Amino acid sequence: MERKLLYEGKAKRIYEIKDKPGLYIQEFKDDATAFNGLKKEQIKNKGILNTSITTALFGYLMKNGIPTHFVEKISNTEMIVKRVKIVQAEVVCRNIAAGSLVKRYGIEEGKELKPPIVEYYFKSDELGDPLFTEAHIYELGLATPEELDHIKELTLKINSLLKTFFAERKLLLVDFKLEYGKDDEGNIILADEISPDTCRLWDSETRMKLDKDRFRFNLGGVEEAYEEINKRLS
């Protein structure tokens, strides 16, 4: 497949496929970053594991009525996806208090949140992806009220599906980040990835962290944690 590199981010590369208009290749890298790029490292097999995990989860969501950009997996580190224009508002859904929620508000880590909290972050490396409100989203013209309502509805449906899916595999879905985009017909669909890079996942019995927090906080066993998630999903 003849391809042209369009974009390289912290964890992925996006290529245009020259003879397939409207389709891109999304390649997962072994690079890991944290704290807005201040901490950088390579994690062996992370690209392979995140490709496997993302394609499994996107396939599951699509079977349950969630529209996504995923088309097919074509190699250990690559998947074909539909072209989308990304909505510059990242969505975070929180089921259990952890991370910045604990740091910002002093909520005890591990406290169950009822109902789940949905937050929005301005997708801007330059500005450090700040937390912002619906009013900011409308002012910046990133989405209409109707579009944001739809995004929130999809997020809560995805949350419900994933919580059940992970629970069956003895995992707690603590929180996760989603990105949405508009396809060529203007439909809002799920994009990017779902992996231990973008989710907090704990073992439901021991509460052992099996996600990127092992890298962020030098807990060790990062590759092993990603492998365990992939094993349980398989």
Q: What percent of the chain has pLDDT over 70?
A: 100
Tally of CB atoms within 10 A around 222: 22
pLDDT value of residue 169: 98
Nearest to 79 by CA among 1, 155, 154: 1
Cβ within 8 Å of residue 217, ≥6 positions away: none
**Residue 224: which region, alpha, beta or left (left: phi > 0; alpha: psi -120 to 50)?**
alpha
pLDDT value of residue 56: 98
Cα gap 142→230, rounded to integer Å = 34
- Domain boundaries 3-82, CATH class: alpha beta
160-185 burial, b at 16+ Cβ within 10 Å, e below that, comes to ebbbebbeeeebbbbbbbbbbbbbee
Arithmetic mean of pLDDT over the chain: 96
The pTM score is 0.96
pLDDT value of residue 125: 87
pLDDT tens digits along 12-47: 999 999 999 999 999 999 999 888 777 899 999 999
CATH of 85-221, one of 3.40.50.970, 3.40.50.880, 3.30.470.20, 3.30.1440.10: 3.30.470.20
Domain boundaries, the chain: 3-82, 85-221
